[in-house]
Every structure is written in C-alpha cells, then in structure tokens.
Amino acid sequence: MKSLGNTRRDFIKAAGLGAAALAMPGWLAAGEKANRRKPNIVMIMVDDLGYGDLSSYGGKDMKTPHVDKLVAAGMRFDNFYANCPVCSPTRASLLTGRYPDLVGVPGVIRTHLRNNWGYLAPQAVLLPKLLRRAGYHTAIVGKWHLGLESPNVPNDRGFDHFHGYLGDMMDDYYNHRRHGINYMRLNEKEIDPKGHATDLFTQWAIDYIKERSGSKQPFFLYLAYNAPHTPIQPPKDWIQKVKKRERNITDRRAKLVALIEHMDDGIGKVIASLKDKGLDDNTLIIFTSDNGGQLNVGANNGPLRAGKQDMYEGGIRVPMCAVWPSMIKAGSRDERVALTMDLFPTICEAAGASVYNEIDGRSILPTLLGKNQPAAERFLFWVRREGGHYGGRAYYAARYGDFKLVQNNPFEPLQLYNLKDDPKEQKPLERRHPMYNKLFSALRNHIIEAGAVPWEKYPAILSS
C-alpha cells in the first residue's frame, strides 16, 4: 500500500489514465480495429431511484421488466456508487470524469443565487467534446441540471443536440415549470410541449434514434429522466394498475411504484426502437441512477442505511448495469466498487476517444468485457454543500478499501465503519483506529484541492 498521507492527485498520477487515453479502443485486437464499427452508446440516468426499487434488485411490490431485461442481458454491478447523494454533482461527474467539487459543482445548481451551490467550471472538459473528436454525433434528451443559461447549457458544452429540460426538479410533470419558469428547450429554443415529462423524453429519445439510424456516424445519446424525482406524479392509470395488483400497498408507495413502472415502460420503448432500427447489436447501453431513493416519498433502498441526501450507503449506492451484445456476457455480475465518474473513461475507451485532460475516474471496460482487472487501490470521496438548515456548509464521506469515513450532516462527527463487517453501518469504530486518521488526512487533502475551485465567483464575474 502506498503512503496514505499523499494527496489524491499523487495517486492519480501514479496510476495514470489507463486505456482510455488510447486513440483506438483497447478492447480490440489488432486485426479487428480496421473492421469493427464503433458502437453507438446510450447512457440512461434516472433520478432518485432507490437501490431496492427494481424487481431485479429485490423490489417485491413492483414490475420493472424492461430494466430487468437490461440487467439480465449484461453485467450488473452490486457496488456501484453515485458521486453524490443529490443530483447536480453526480451529473457533473458523469460528464467530466472528475469529482464534482473539482469542477465547481459541490451541490445542487438552482435558479436563485442564494440557494445555488455550484457553477460548472469553464475549463472543465465534457464527455461529448471528446466523443465528437472521435467521430460521434452527441445528444442529450431530458434533464441537464448543470446550468440554466449560456455558456453552461448543453449546446455550449459539446452536445450537438439537446431536447429536454435545463432545470432541477419540475414542480409539475405536465406543465414542466420550476418557480413559474419554463426550462424546456429544443437546442437553444424555448418550447412548451404537452404531456407527461417521462413520455416526452421517451418519445424524443426515440425520435433521435430514428433520425440517426440512417447515418453511418455513431451516436452518443445521454437519456436523463426526471423520474422518479418528486413530485411523485405518475399518470392516473398507472396508479390504478399498481393498486389493483398490489392489494396491501399504501397510497404513498403506490404512487412511487407507478412513477417508476411508467418510466420503465418508456425505457422499454427506447430499447425497442434500437432493435427496430437494427442498432441493438452494436449499441452499448448503461443504466444507473444519480443518487439513492428519497425515503419520505416511499423509496426502497433495500438493505442499505438511509437514502437520498445521506452519506450512508442508501444515499449513494445505486443500481447499475451495462449491456453490449456479444461484448458483455449476459447474466454476469460484479462486486467491483465503481463510481459515476468512472463511466466517463469507460465510455471513452469503448468509443476509441482519447482522454487528454485530467480525470479522476478509471475505466471499468475491462471488467465489463470479462477481462481480469485488479481492484483499484484508491481513495474515494463524496461531498455535498447545501443551504437551508445546512447553512451553506458541506458534509463528506471518504472510503479506502472496506473502510468508510462518514459525516452525514455538517453538525455530526465523522464516524468510521468497516463495510465488510458492518454493511448496514451500525457499528462505528473507535476514533483511534489507524484508518480513521488515514482517511481523515486524505479527505483533508481533497478539501484543500477543491477549495481552489472558485465556483461561487463565476456568476458574479459574468453579471458584472
């Protein structure tokens, strides 16, 4: 083991960027490189889906056949983590391959300055920019949540096509407003479509797939649903369907199950469109959630402690699977610890896109392809900064191996757990345990580095 007193950056430099920095996909043998077409890539991120809120992840009162089919058709991860227990930071990590606070997004980006806790750094290099260099057409359909105006909107940050929602949550799934503001866009044009947001995003994704199916150019589609984020507002017929099937379910739980099942149905339609256009055999599909489920609206995080907003496992461990016919073995399963930011280099490596900028994520493509990939020895960090009763303060978690240091809100002490012996985080270890100070020091170094990212100053500079 390397000295744990060094900074996180030292570990990254020692490890290197790995195969994602290659100009051609590392998973191809030399003779295949000239013949193999680059895969289309569909990245599906859903919003606030609990670890136990899929049938395939143990949900007993719901039917999610389409995501379950994805899980069965590829590799399921049991220890996959969102980069934050709330929305914007995890999305920043997906699209930059970095810890969110290192790209200016330590908390949720919102409409009003006094309740806004991030600004995506101008110097951050986003995934679509690298994929475009590798020959891809790039699109986002659905929730953006990384900026509400130029230059931090999708088309300014590398996406060729945007059809979706700039903001955070919608106050209503049917009128798509937030604080009375319409954040729905087709590229840079404000639009006012009719219908449930889940249905709209599903159809817009299908429209994009149909449009690109006639081109030889590979595409990257980032499909980001608002569901099942609050408000828990499924179509009424879906609630009735759940209540008829689940006789003893509560009204609160029935509404959330219906919202998830409605979303699952939409995902099924998107997958069907890939098959209909003959694209499914050479498309890499990745599915995950931006954080854990929200307990006070009935979410199920399985055996994990706590939920959304928490640094305990229920707030950050999420479902994840990847499907790529003939490349990823169907029905496979892996215990590797990985984070949202690892999907950035994974997607780049699959696409043959060079990574020339510094990232924190590490490609898991060898694992997906069934190759031997030693477990990564690295520190992992989580941060969330928030207003309200948090008072603008941040709170943290850090992990190395089986040991996890948790501060679940800014006013609680740090506690150390051994996740192997205590997966439900019920038995904090003594502070004198040697891993306490090692993780504490590593977290301190991360905080020092993130402190040099002036996310609060950018809005003031732009408005002056």
Looking at residue 28, its pLDDT comes to 55
**For 252-275, what is the mean pLDDT?**
98
Looking at residue 321, its pLDDT comes to 98
**For 441-453, what is the mean pLDDT?**
96
| pLDDT 10s digits, 326-374 | 999 999 999 999 999 999 999 999 999 999 999 999 999 999 999 999 9
C-alpha torsion angle, residues 15, 40, 105, 386 (rounded to 10): -110
Count of positions (residues) in the chain:
464
Please classify residue 68 by burial: count the beta carbons closer than 10 Å to its beta carbon, then call 0-12 exposed, 13-18 middle and 19+ buried: middle
13 falls in which pLDDT band (50, 70, 90)?
very low
Looking at residue 330, its pLDDT comes to 98
Q: What are the C-alpha distances in Å from 208 to residues 157, 213, 225? A: 19, 8, 15
**For 111-138, what is the mean pLDDT?**
96
Residue 168: other Cβ atoms inside 10 A: 22
Q: Report yes or no: 271 and 280 within 8 Å, Cβ to Cβ.
A: yes
Mean pLDDT check: name the lowest of 34-38, 84-88, 385-389.
34-38
Residue 12 has pLDDT above 90, yes or no: no
Higher pLDDT, 34 or 210: 210
Looking at residue 115, its pLDDT comes to 94
Residue 464 has pLDDT above 50, yes or no: no
- pTM comes to 0.93
Residue 43 amino acid letter: M
Q: Report yes or no: 168 and 145 within 8 Å, Cβ to Cβ.
A: yes
Residue 16 has pLDDT above 90, yes or no: no
Among the listed residues 66, 84, 137, 145, the single catalytic one is 145
Mean pLDDT check: name the lowest of 26-40, 144-158, 212-226, 274-288.
26-40
Looking at residue 456, its pLDDT comes to 77
433 falls in which pLDDT band (50, 70, 90)?
very high
Higher pLDDT, 244 or 35: 244
Q: Report yes or no: 417 and 429 within 8 Å, Cβ to Cβ.
A: yes
Residue 459 has pLDDT above 80, yes or no: no
Q: Give the C-alpha separation, 329 to 325, whole Å.
A: 8
Q: Give the C-alpha separation, 146 to 236, whole Å.
A: 31
Residue 458 has pLDDT above 80, yes or no: no
**For 8-13, what is the mean pLDDT?**
42
Residue 455 has pLDDT above 90, yes or no: no
Q: Give the C-alpha separation, 182 to 259, whole Å.
A: 22
Q: In the chain, what are the domains?
A: 33-368 (3.40.720.10), 380-463 (3.30.1120)
Looking at residue 284, its pLDDT comes to 98
Active site residue 145: yes
288: part of which helix (H) or strand (E)?
strand 283-289
134 falls in which pLDDT band (50, 70, 90)?
very high
Buried b or exposed e, range 437-447, using 16+ CB within 10 angstroms: ebbebbbebbe
Report the candidate in 223, 53, 241 with the shortest Cα–Cα distance to residue 143: 223
Average pLDDT over the chain, rounded to whole?
92
Mean pLDDT check: name the lowest of 5-9, 114-118, 210-214, 389-393.
5-9
Residue 11 has pLDDT above 50, yes or no: no
SS3 of 276, please?
helix
Looking at residue 44, its pLDDT comes to 99
SS3 of 384, please?
strand
SS3 of 189, please?
strand
Q: Give the C-alpha separation, 302 to 347, whole Å.
A: 28
Q: Report yes or no: 181 and 111 within 8 Å, Cβ to Cβ.
A: yes
Among the listed residues 84, 87, 321, 348, the single catalytic one is 87
Mean pLDDT check: name the lowest of 15-19, 239-243, 429-433.
15-19
Residue 105 has pLDDT above 70, yes or no: yes
Quote helix, strand, coil % in the chain, to nearest 5: 35, 20, 50
Looking at residue 20, its pLDDT comes to 38
**For 132-136, what is the mean pLDDT?**
98
Higher pLDDT, 453 or 289: 289
Q: Give the C-alpha separation, 33 to 24, whole Å.
A: 8
Looking at residue 10, its pLDDT comes to 47
Question: Can you tell me which residue has the tokens 């003959």?
Answer: 278
Report the candidate in 181, 111, 143 with the shortest Cα–Cα distance to residue 47: 143
